[in-house]
Amino acid sequence: MPLLTGSWKIVADGHVGELIIVGVSSTGQLQFNLSIPTLLGLVAGGSPSFVGFWDESSQTITFQHVVPDITPNAVVTPRISLTFTGHLFKAPVQPAPGQDVTWTLAGSFVAFNGPATTLSTSRRNRFGWVATISQSL
């Protein structure tokens, strides 16, 4: 099943936000935007970069959100780096005609140089996430 485009409600380690799936190229490259204000905050520095992939055969999504930090010497280093992996499923599995379907992406993300809100350490750097979108058939 193709990945639905549109606005998904995302909850990452308890932080609510929006994952906007814009599209998926023929090679599986994901076009998206991620906004989780209480997790990512309003960070100074360069613009975030978004890189992601959709694997149709395994129904797996992988995407990364990186916000660079620009030092006074114009050296760019990653300030926040979150890498998400998840899988797609729907409920109900076999909907009746006209029944709404909820699509769910669920998985985990790893925080590197993470924001203080994730409190990532060597002992705890993997966190859970889930995103949902509804579709009327």
The dihedral sign for the CA sequence 131, 37, 39, 20? positive
In a domain, 1, yes or no: no
Q: What letters, b where the CB count within 10 A reaches 16 and e where it falls short, cover 35-73?
A: ebeebbeeeeeeebeeebbbeeeeebbbbbbbbbeeeee
CA nearest to 33, candidates 18, 45, 44: 18
Among the listed ranges 19-23, 46-50, 57-61, which one has the minimum average pLDDT value?
46-50
In a domain, 56, yes or no: yes
| Higher per-residue pLDDT: 101 or 49 | 101
Averaged pLDDT, 107-130: 78
Averaged pLDDT, 50-76: 80
In a domain, 58, yes or no: yes
The pLDDT-based confidence of 42 (bands split at 50, 70, 90) is very low
Domain harbouring 85, CATH code: 2.40.128
In a domain, 68, yes or no: yes
Would you say 64 and 83 are in contact if contact means Cβ atoms under 8 Å apart? yes
Is the predicted pLDDT of residue 56 greater than 80, yes or no? yes
User: For the purposes of burial, counting CB atoms within 10 Å of the CB of 83, is it exposed (0-12), middle (13-18) or buried (19 or more)?
Assistant: middle
Instruction: Calculate the CA dihedral of residues 54, 89, 5, 126 and round it to 10 degrees.
Output: -60
* Domain containing residue 84: 6-136
Is the predicted pLDDT of residue 19 greater than 80, yes or no? yes
Question: Could you tell me the pTM of the whole model?
Answer: 0.82
In a domain, 32, yes or no: yes
Is the predicted pLDDT of residue 111 greater than 90, yes or no? no
Please state the domain count of the chain. 1
